[in-house]
Amino acid sequence: MTFQIQAVTIYGKQPGQMRTVPFRTGSLNIVTGDSRRGKSALLTIIDYCLASTDYPVKAGKVRDYVSAYAVTLIRGRQQLFVARRAPEGKAAVSTVLCVLTQATGTPAPRLEDLHFSTPQDTAKDILSNFCGIDSTVRVPAVGKNTLIAPSVRHALFFCFQAQNEVANPDVLFHSQGEDWKPNTIRGVIPYFLGAVDREQALLQNRLRNLRRDLADNEAMLATSTDVAPASGQAQALLVEAIEVGLVPPQAGPHTADELLRHLRNAMIHNAPGDSLADEDPLSALHTRRTELRRLFSQTRARIADLKTDLAENSDFNDQAIEQRARLASLGLLNRDANAAADQARCPVCDGHVPSANETVAGLMRDLSHLDGDLQVIGSDTPAIRRLIVDGEGRLQALRSELARNQEEINELTTALRTIHREPDDLRRAAIVQGRISLFLDTAAQHAAAPRVQDRREALREQIAELEDQLSGSTQEERLTSFLSLINQEIKKKAKALDLDFSGSPIRLDTSRLTVVADTIDGPVQLKSMGSAENHLGYHISTLLSLHEWFAKHQGPVPRVLILDQPSQVYFPAEATGDEELQTNDRLHLLNVFEVLHHTLQQLDGELQIIVMEHADLADPMFSQHVVERWRYGNDTALVPSSWMEPEES
C-alpha cells in the first residue's frame, strides 16, 4: 500500500498567513487558471516536500511571499504531514523537515506549532517507508559498479510530468533530461514493476559480494606472492648487485634468508667516491657568482654617489667664488670692522660716515665664512676624486672576476653533461641500491603483516551454488514478460486517443527510455513521430498503463499522477475556454480527459490524478472535476493577494 495527496499547504512570511489547497483522493482533480497564478508551483512544492535535494520552486510570487511549504499524505487510515521551510539567506535548500504522523482528517497545523528537526535523508527514509519501499532491497546501477537503494525519490520518476515534459518527444519520464538520471531510471524500473523478487534480490546482492570477496582475496594473494623474500625479484637484484660490485660473487642457489642477508650487505657497501657526494662545485660557483654580482652592484652604486657629491661640490665652489669676488670688491673700504664709529670714512671722498662700520662688519663676516667653505671644499674634492678612481678600479676587477667565473661554470657544465651521457659504475651502483632498498622495505612489511588466508576455493563453491539457485528464473525474463503486458495497455490507450502508429505494435523501451512503434518500415521512436498530440498521447498512455500495473501488482509507487497543462498542444497561448478551440481540438482534448477518467474508474480509487490547466471547458467531463479556479477575474491564486503589497496584487 502507498499514498496519495490530500492537500498542499503554504505559509506566508507574515504571522497567521496560511493557505491550504485540498485534493480528492482516488479521482481526477483539475486546477485551472490564468498564467502566473501558481498552478505549476503545485508540482514543485510537492516535489520539494518529498525530500528533494534541491529547491525546485521557481522564482516569482510563490518564492517571494511563502516561507514554508507542506503536503498532507494519506495511506488508508494513516496520515502523514510533511513540511519544509523555504531556504533562508544564501542557502540553496533547507536541509531539515517537519514530519508528523496525524489522525485521518487532521488539518494542517499552524506554522508556529511546527518543529523543523528531521534531516532530509531521514525524512526521505520515512517517506520511502510510507510509500511501501523495502529498505533492504538493492538493485544494480546501470553503467556503474554500484548498488541503488530504491527510495521515494526514484518512485517520483513515474508520478510527475512537468509542463516541459508532458509532451516532450525526447524525454518520457520526470527528470529524464538531467545528468545521470537516465541510468538511474533504467536501474530502478525492474524493482518498481516487481521484476525484482525480494529473496532473489538478496541472493543477487550476496552473489555480488562473494564475487567481490573472491577478487579481493585473489589480489591479496597475488600481492603476497609478489613480495615474498625468496621471489625471482630478489634473485635478480642480487645478480645486479654483484655486477656493479656491491657484493662479491656468490655461489648459488640461495635460500630466502641468504638472499636477504646478501641484499642487506649490498646496502651497507660504500662505493668509491661517496665522500664526494656532498660536494657540489657547480653550486659553489653559482654562489660565488651571486656574491660577485652583489659586490659589483654595490660598487657601481657607490661610484654614482661619489660622482653626485663631486658635481655638487663643483657647483657650490663656482657659486661661492663668484660671491666672494663680489664681496672682495668692497676691499676699497680698507677699514677694520672693529674701528670706532667716528673713524669711519667714505672710500671715495674720505668723508666721515657715522653708520658705515656696522655694514662693513657684516660684509666682512660673510666674506670670512665663504673663505672657510672654499677651503673645506677644496680639501674634499681631491679625496672624492681618489675614491672614484679606486671604485672604478674595483669595478673593473669585479668584471674580470665575473668573466672568469662564467668561464668556469661553462667548463664545469660541459663536463657534467658528458658524465651524465655516460653513466659510470658509481651511478649504476646507486640505482641498484635504491631498488634493493625498496624491495627490503616491502619484504619487511610483508613479514610484519598477517598472513593472507587462501579462501578462493570456498568462495568459488559458494558462488557456484548461488548461480545455480538464480539460474531458474531470471529478472530479465520477468521484466520482458511484464513489459509485454504493459505494452498491450499502452496500445489500447493509444487507440482510444486515436494516435498515429496505434495500429502497430507499441512497446516501452526501457533501454532507450522511450516508446517505440514497430512498423513494417522499421521501429519508430517517440522523438521521430510527428505532431505534439502524438507526444502528449504516448506520454499519457504510457504513464497510465504503468500506474495500472503498479496498482494491480502493489508496486511501491505513490498512487498519484500529476500532469502540468496537457492542453498546451491544443490551445493557443492565451486560450481559456471552448470558444478558443477548433471543434477537432476540443474533441481531442476532451478525449484525453475521458481516457484519464476511464482509467480512474477501472482502478476504483487506487489512483489519483492532478491536472494543472490553463483551459476551462464547460463539458462535464472537464468541469465536474475542477477543484480550483485561479483567475484574475475572481482575484484567486495559490498565493492570496492579501499577502502581497497593494501595487503587486
What pLDDT digit, counting tens, does each position of 486-498 carry?
A: 999 999 999 999 9
Q: Model confidence at 459, in pLDDT bands (50, 70, 90)?
A: confident
pLDDT reported for residue 272: 45
pLDDT reported for residue 333: 45
- Assess whether 285 and 411 both reside in one domain: yes
User: 608 pairs with which residues across the strands?
Assistant: 560
Which amino acid type is present at position 536? Answer: L
Place of cell 492542453: 567
Nearest C-alpha neighbor of 307 from the set 384, 419, 404: 384
127 versus 202: the higher-pLDDT residue is 127
Q: Which of 35-39, 272-276, 293-297, 389-393 has the lowest mean pLDDT?
A: 272-276
Residue 427 burial by Cβ neighbours in a 10 Å radius (0-12, 13-18, 19+): middle
Mean per-residue pLDDT for 304-317? 75
pLDDT reported for residue 486: 97
- Assess whether 20 and 149 both reside in one domain: yes
Q: How far is the C-alpha of 211 from the C-alpha of 470, rounded, in Å?
A: 15
Q: Which of 16-30, 299-313, 332-346 has the lowest mean pLDDT?
A: 332-346
Whether residue 611 contacts residue 597, with contact meaning beta carbons closer than 8 Å, is answered with no
Query: Is pLDDT above 70 for 623?
Result: yes
DSSP state for residue 517 in the 8-state scheme: E
> Is 505 among the domain residues?
no
Q: How far is the C-alpha of 385 from the C-alpha of 361, rounded, in Å?
A: 37
- Assess whether 162 and 286 both reside in one domain: no
For the beta carbon of residue 313, count every other beta carbon within 10 angstroms: 16
Mean per-residue pLDDT for 229-252? 73
Point out the domain boundary residue: 368, 383, 418: 418
Q: How far is the C-alpha of 226 from the C-alpha of 220, rounded, in Å?
A: 10
C-alpha angle 583-585-588 in degrees, rounded to nearest 5: 110
pLDDT reported for residue 464: 86
Mean per-residue pLDDT for 536-545? 97
Whether residue 508 contacts residue 190, with contact meaning beta carbons closer than 8 Å, is answered with no
- Assess whether 165 and 298 both reside in one domain: no
User: 19 pairs with which residues across the strands?
Assistant: 10
- Assess whether 164 and 43 both reside in one domain: yes
Q: How far is the C-alpha of 340 from the C-alpha of 363, rounded, in Å?
A: 17
> Is 236 among the domain residues?
no
Nearest C-alpha neighbor of 490 from the set 502, 478, 480: 502
Point out the domain boundary residue: 388, 418, 448: 418
> Is 59 among the domain residues?
yes
Nearest C-alpha neighbor of 264 from the set 250, 252, 246, 249: 246
Whether residue 221 contacts residue 454, with contact meaning beta carbons closer than 8 Å, is answered with yes
Give Cβ neighbours of residue 536 (< 8 Å, ≥ 6 apart).
Answer: 166, 167, 566, 569, 592
- Assess whether 285 and 189 both reside in one domain: no
Which amino acid type is present at position 230? Answer: A
pLDDT reported for residue 229: 46
> Is 400 among the domain residues?
yes
Q: Which of 14-23, 226-235, 464-473, 531-540 has the lowest mean pLDDT?
A: 226-235
Query: Is pLDDT above 80 for 519?
Result: yes
Put residue 639 in one of left, alpha, beta given phi > 0 → left and psi -120 to 50 → alpha.
beta
Q: Give 3-state DSSP helix, strand, coil % of the chain, rounded to 5.
A: 55, 15, 35
Q: Model confidence at 190, in pLDDT bands (50, 70, 90)?
A: very high
Q: How far is the C-alpha of 191 from the C-alpha of 548, rounded, in Å?
A: 16
pLDDT reported for residue 385: 78
Q: Which of 321-325, 546-550, 565-569 has the lowest mean pLDDT?
A: 321-325
Question: Could you tell me the pTM of the whole model?
Answer: 0.64
The percent of residues in the chain predicted with pLDDT above 70, rounded, is 79
Q: Which domain holds residue 70?
A: 4-199+558-580+600-641
pLDDT digits (tens, 9 = 90+) for 112-143: 999 999 999 999 999 999 999 998 888 888 87
User: 613 pairs with which residues across the strands?
Assistant: 32
pLDDT reported for residue 277: 43
- Assess whether 290 and 400 both reside in one domain: yes
**Grid cell locating 85:** 521551510
DSSP state for residue 39 in the 8-state scheme: T
Query: Is pLDDT above 60 for 346?
Result: no
Long-range own/partner contacts, residues 56-60 (CB < 8 A, 24 or more apart): 57/86, 60/36
pLDDT reported for residue 154: 97
Q: How far is the C-alpha of 214 from the C-alpha of 220, rounded, in Å?
A: 10
Whether residue 2 contacts residue 547, with contact meaning beta carbons closer than 8 Å, is answered with no
> Is 429 among the domain residues?
no
Backbone angles phi, psi at 556, to 5 degrees: -80, 60
Query: Is pLDDT above 50 for 501?
Result: yes
Q: How far is the C-alpha of 249 from the C-alpha of 230, rounded, in Å?
A: 18
Whether residue 630 contacts residue 39, with contact meaning beta carbons closer than 8 Å, is answered with yes
492 versus 288: the higher-pLDDT residue is 492
Whether residue 183 contacts residue 144, with contact meaning beta carbons closer than 8 Å, is answered with yes
DSSP state for residue 85 in the 8-state scheme: E
- Assess whether 21 and 153 both reside in one domain: yes
Helix, strand, or coil (residue 69): strand
User: 629 pairs with which residues across the strands?
Assistant: 32
Mean per-residue pLDDT for 516-525? 95
Q: Model confidence at 649, in pLDDT bands (50, 70, 90)?
A: very low
pLDDT reported for residue 453: 76
pLDDT reported for residue 354: 58
pLDDT reported for residue 411: 78
How many Å is the Cα radius of gyration of the chain? Answer: 49
User: 85 pairs with which residues across the strands?
Assistant: 68
> Is 90 among the domain residues?
yes
Burial code (b: 16+ CB inside 10 Å, e: under 16) for 595-634 equals bbbebbeebeebbbbbbbbbbbbeeebbeebbbbebeeee
> Is 82 among the domain residues?
yes
pLDDT reported for residue 462: 87
Q: How far is the C-alpha of 8 from the C-alpha of 18, rounded, in Å?
A: 11
Q: Model confidence at 576, in pLDDT bands (50, 70, 90)?
A: low
Whether residue 559 contacts residue 604, with contact meaning beta carbons closer than 8 Å, is answered with no
Q: How many domains does the chain have?
A: 2
Q: How far is the C-alpha of 508 from the C-alpha of 523, rounded, in Å?
A: 12
Q: Model confidence at 335, in pLDDT bands (50, 70, 90)?
A: very low
* Residue 232, CB-side half-sphere exposure with 13 Å CA sphere: 0
Q: How far is the C-alpha of 612 from the C-alpha of 30, rounded, in Å?
A: 6
**Grid cell locating 404:** 672568469
Helix, strand, or coil (residue 260): helix
Q: How far is the C-alpha of 54 from the C-alpha of 619, rounded, in Å?
A: 39
Query: Is pLDDT above 70 for 358?
Result: no
- Assess whether 135 and 10 both reside in one domain: yes
Q: Which of 18-27, 71-80, 389-398, 577-586 has the lowest mean pLDDT?
A: 577-586
Mean per-residue pLDDT for 168-195? 93
Whether residue 133 contacts residue 152, with contact meaning beta carbons closer than 8 Å, is answered with yes
Q: Which of 272-276, 301-305, 401-405, 418-422 has the lowest mean pLDDT?
A: 272-276
Mean per-residue pLDDT for 298-311? 81
> Is 607 among the domain residues?
yes
458 versus 29: the higher-pLDDT residue is 29
Q: Model confidence at 350, in pLDDT bands (50, 70, 90)?
A: low
Nearest C-alpha neighbor of 136 from the set 74, 197, 209, 52: 197
**Grid cell locating 151:** 527510495
Q: How far is the C-alpha of 80 from the C-alpha of 126, rounded, in Å?
A: 10
**Grid cell locating 74:** 494519506
Place of cell 520539494: 48
- Assess whether 165 and 314 both reside in one domain: no
Nearest C-alpha neighbor of 305 from the set 225, 371, 387: 387
* Residue 441, CB-side half-sphere exposure with 13 Å CA sphere: 6
Question: What is the length of the chain?
Answer: 649
Q: Model confidence at 108, in pLDDT bands (50, 70, 90)?
A: very high
Point out the domain boundary residue: 399, 418, 437: 418
